[in-house]
A and B are shown apart, each in its own frame.
Chain A
Amino acid sequence: QQQVKQSPQSLIVQKGGISIINCAYENTAFDYFPWYQQFPGKGPALLIAIRPDVSEKKEGRFTISFNKSAKQFSLHIMDSQPGDSATYFCAPGFGNEKLTFGTGTRLTIIP
């Protein structure tokens, strides 16, 4: 079942630009909307997360925008840096326990 659709699959952004990754979900019972960052050969790490009672959350250069009616949420990375080059996963779920991971977006930041 394709409960979570993430786009784009890959993204190339110039240093200093804005990176935008989108996640669409089907299950309206999801109540936790995180983004994970994964570097090659490592486990994912939580980057930022939002609950459905808030439409936007910002932490430093990272912002989550949440659109409950459209069943979508997105990750915005401002002033993208080469160190941001990684694979990003959305993983909506119930509480923080049963997460459903998207297929990932490979982000490359070029000088």
Chain B
Amino acid sequence: DGGITQSPKYLFRKEGQNVTLSCEQNLNHDAMYWYRQDPGQGLRLIYYSQIVNDFQKGDIAEGYSVSREKKESFPLTVTSAQKNPTAFYLCASSIVGHEQYFGPGTRLTVT
């Protein structure tokens, strides 16, 4: 998993609560990404950031928020506005223009 840490591995929350997923990398990569993976749908891009204090929406940003205050960290908040938050969330990082390296993922279950 190459220097990308996601914690916790499993996360359980009640409906209506916001939850923040952690992603830390020690690869000195400028770019970081958040994906969501659902069964049978592959990975879909939520947000990405190519530089500190800047980030862009991906294909499914509604109901999510991010921050990039440090190069090493890119936390994702799943808000109560996200209609179907239960999923496997994957963080990735890269040198801009180069291969993306993925973390081990966080499986979020909201009931």
Binding site for B on A (CB under 8 A): 4, 6, 9, 34, 41-46, 49, 89, 91, 95-99, 101-104
Q: List chain B residues, Cβ under 8 A from A102.
A: 42
Q: Does B96 contact A (CB under 8 A)?
A: yes
How far apart sit A50 and B41, CA to CA, in the bound complex (Å)?
A: 23
Interface of A: prevailing SS = loop
Partner of B42 from the list A41, A42, A46, A104 (CB cut-off 8 Å) is A104
| Assembled-state Cα–Cα distance A43/B50 (Å) | 20
Given contacts A41-B105, A89-B43, 20 further A-B contacts (CB under 8 A): A6-B42, A34-B99, A41-B104, A42-B105, A43-B90, A43-B104, A44-B90, A45-B102, A46-B100, A91-B43, A95-B97, A96-B97, A96-B98, A99-B43, A99-B100, A101-B35, A101-B42, A103-B40, A103-B41, A104-B42
Query: Do A44 and B99 touch (CB < 8 A)?
Result: no
B-side interface size class = 20 to 34
With A41-B105, A43-B1, A43-B105 as contacts: A96 and B42 at CB distance below 8 Å: no
Chain A nearest Cβ from B65, distance in angstroms? 20
Q: Is B94 an interface residue (CB 8 A)?
A: yes
Contact: A43 with B97, CB < 8 Å? no
User: Chain B nearest CB: distance from A57 CB in Å?
Assistant: 14
Is B103 an interface residue, CB under 8 A from the partner?
yes
Q: Which of A34, A44, A49, A97 contacts B96 (CB 8 A)?
A: A97
- What is B's interface to A at a CB cutoff of 8 Å? 1, 4, 31, 35, 40-45, 48, 50, 90, 92, 94, 96-105
Contact residues in B for A44 (Cβ distance below 8 Å): 43, 90, 102
Chain A residue contacts of B98, Cβ below 8 A: 96
A95: chain B residues at CB < 8 Å are 97
A-B contact pairs, 18 of them (CB 8 A): A34-B99, A42-B104, A43-B90, A43-B92, A44-B43, A45-B102, A46-B100, A89-B43, A91-B43, A95-B97, A96-B100, A97-B50, A97-B96, A99-B45, A99-B100, A101-B35, A101-B42, A102-B42
CA distance A34 to B43 in the complex (A): 14
Give chain A residues whose Cβ lies under 8 Å from the Cβ of B48.
97-98
